[in-house]
A and B are shown apart, each in its own frame.
Chain A
Amino acid sequence: MEIVCFGLSHHTAPVDLRERFAIADGEAAELTARLKAAPGVGEAVIVSTCNRVEFYVAAEEQAAALAAVEAFLVTRAASADREHFFQHSTAQSVRHLFRVVSGIDSMVLGETEILGQVKKAYAAAQAAGATSKHLNKLFQRAFNVAKDVRTNTNITRGSVSVGSVAVELSEKIFGRLADCRVMILGAGEMSELTAGALQARGVKTIFVANRSHDRAVVLAEKMNGKAVRFDDWAREIHDVDILIGSTAAPHHVLTAAQLAPVMRTRADRPLFCIDLAVPRDIEPAVNDLDGVYLYDIDSLQAIAEQSMNTRRQEIAVCEQMIERHALEFGEWLAGGWTAAGVRYSTVVSGGAET
């Protein structure tokens, strides 16, 4: 039995091409069933995300499987520019799927969303009756590989964007964010995005203060929060846990001298200051106060970059783990031997295709 992977991804095709072939969740099961019914196709799974559209097919003959997928693609788009597509035969397909679910092949290295997307695609294929012995085994093995890689390496370690770093730090300071109160100073796009990310992780109370009060009201309504007059924000800070600064002020809006008396009344309650403004809104000396943690845009970016470096350093370890799993799967698939009588593990490790 051959397993073929044919498709395009962010490595090979621009977004305008990827979107032409993208498959909506609602039609995934039906299209997978249609592909499975094509001549020469034994089993099929279609993985479609914003960064990739991939067809996994189990078939007796590789050529027939590829022909079926190409014929299927022609029904989806008028012309398929062949140079943007990749095709893998058995050993490479297995390795490729294991890399994809582990987040190694993702645009953002180590991201975890892809595993859920592949699980969804597999569930749709199962529901359509398009999978059987080989792809069931392959995908279940892939999910185990993803778990193994994530558990035993640092490939998902840390956050790699400014917003997610801010959220992660908040969780490391406060634990549960549901009880945290957030104040946004300056209704800019970055502060809105960061507050939105915090809201997605459980924050319920958001105050917005802006020099233009109307703009504060609009953003507060959008975020289900409360607008505060800019002249009054300092009075509200006693009850705030996370302060996001992103005003266009040319000077510090919050100084250590202003904050010190506030912190003395809340010894047990930390304050996390996220300064996204340039020039900065919050005086750096604020970080010297007990219980105050100040991060500006550079320090958040530095942590994001550090996390990305950590992940890059893990790639080699991940690849080794994936290789081991790929060999084990190959042994199972070929019953230990390829049709030509060559031991599968030798073929794979030699880089040849079966």
Chain B
Amino acid sequence: MERLFLILSTFCFLFGFAYTMHSLGARVYRPSRGNFFAILGGFSCQTAFLYLRGERIGRCPLTSLFEVIVFLAWAMVLFYLLIGSAYRLSLLGAFTSPLVFVFQFIALLALKDSPVRIDLTPNPWMELHAAISIIAYGAFALACVAGVMYLTQERQLKSHHIHSIFYRLPPIRDLAVANGRLILAGFGLLTVGIFAGLMIGGLHTHAVKIAWSIGVWLLYGIIFALHKGHRLSARRVAWLSVAAFSAVLVTLSGITFITAAPSY
């Protein structure tokens, strides 16, 4: 049953993806209410999937790479819904939909999904650590999206080759601000996630995951510190937010395989 919600959600984001491609192809992009409601519908279905999956397995649904990817996609949409309108970044939704669609499409087609109910009482610190950390990665994912938008806009401004998308993308300074704030939000959340991880007890069994989380925390911490200390230009922060999240994605799947979920 919950898989049906996930499929429905993926179709919603496919609509967003198709709408974006069509709009950009037609050279007339308008933030559409239909697109927004598709994202909202997709988010509702994602939430239903995660809730039902959690009920089924008796814990936070982060027990396999499949669930982690879906949770991450959900966190991205959550951040979009929270900050998209606040920063007048309507196109962020248009850029988010394709990424979320690709995540879920890959999860549905390529990743093994065999949920097993574990009757052991879950460790609340472990649940908190995993959930907050993935939500933090959602913020980093959206920072990556804002970074791509920044670099797209910046390239056009530098080269003087102005394409139609230029007129639809937000001002470059707003994108830089949003990028910085998303990195800060992700960094703050990851700090809480790591603190929760350190409270788990029996650290040796989760050492790889915790160490990896600390590595990601350090990476974003350095980016944030250099940015705040005016040692990095907005362009370099944008590049780093794209590169860092790509690295997180690659290592996340590796770590999930290494630690052979479910680990709690």
Contact = CB atoms under 8 A, between A and B. Distances in A.
Interface of A: 151-154, 157-158, 169, 171-175, 263-270, 287, 290-291, 293, 295, 299, 302-303, 306, 310
Given A153-B28, A175-B173, A303-B162, A266 B230 contact: yes
Nearest to B27: A154
B171 A174 contact: yes
Given A267-B234, A290-B233, A293-B158, 13 more contacts: A154-B27, A157-B164, A174-B171, A175-B174, A267-B231, A268-B180, A268-B227, A287-B158, A290-B235, A291-B234, A295-B160, A299-B160, A302-B160
Interface string B166-199: 1101111110100010000000000000000000
A306 B162 contact: yes
Interface in B200-254: 227, 230-236
Contacts of B230: 264-268
Nearest to A241: B173
A172 B28 contact: no
B30 A151 contact: yes
A158 B158 contact: no
B261 interface: no
Given A158-B167, A173-B172, A268-B176, A291 B158 contact: no
Contacts of A293: 157-158
Contacts of A310: 164
B162 A267 contact: no
16 contacts: A154-B27, A169-B157, A171-B171, A172-B153, A172-B166, A172-B169, A173-B171, A175-B170, A175-B174, A264-B230, A266-B230, A267-B232, A268-B176, A270-B172, A290-B234, A295-B160
A154 B158 CA distance: 23
Contacts of A158: 162, 167
B77 to A, nearest CB: 25
B167 A173 contact: no
Closest 8 CB pairs of A and B: A175-B171, A290-B233, A267-B230, A299-B160, A267-B233, A293-B157, A175-B174, A290-B235
Contacts of B233: 263, 267, 290-291
A263 B231 CA distance: 11
Contacts of A287: 158
Interface of B: 27-28, 30, 153, 157-158, 160, 162, 164, 166-167, 169-174, 176, 180, 227, 230-236
Contacts of B166: 172
Contacts, number: 65
Contacts of B160: 295, 299, 302-303
Nearest to A170: B171
B206 to A, nearest CB: 38
A10 B162 CA distance: 31
B85 to A, nearest CB: 15
Given A154-B27, A267-B230, A172 B158 contact: no
Contacts of B162: 158, 303, 306
Given A158-B167, A270-B172, A291-B234, A172 B157 contact: yes
A291 B235 contact: yes
A189 to B, nearest CB: 24
Nearest to A152: B28
A321 to B, nearest CB: 13
Contacts of B180: 268
A334 B30 CA distance: 36
B124 to A, nearest CB: 40
A280 B250 CA distance: 48
Contacts of A151: 30
Contacts of B174: 175
Nearest to A266: B230
Nearest to B162: A303
A272 to B, nearest CB: 9
A152 B167 CA distance: 15
Contacts of B172: 172-173, 270
Contact of A268 (B157, B170, B234): B234
A153 B160 CA distance: 23
A171 B236 CA distance: 22
Contacts of A154: 27-28, 164
A238 to B, nearest CB: 13
A313 to B, nearest CB: 10
B42 to A, nearest CB: 26
Contacts of A299: 160
A329 B253 CA distance: 61
A293 B162 CA distance: 13
Contacts of A153: 28
Contacts of B236: 290
Contacts of B30: 151
A173 B176 CA distance: 10
Nearest to B170: A175
B173 A270 contact: yes
A264 B160 CA distance: 23
Contacts of A295: 160
A173 B170 CA distance: 9
Nearest to A289: B233
Nearest to A307: B162
B175 to A, nearest CB: 10
A173 B28 contact: no
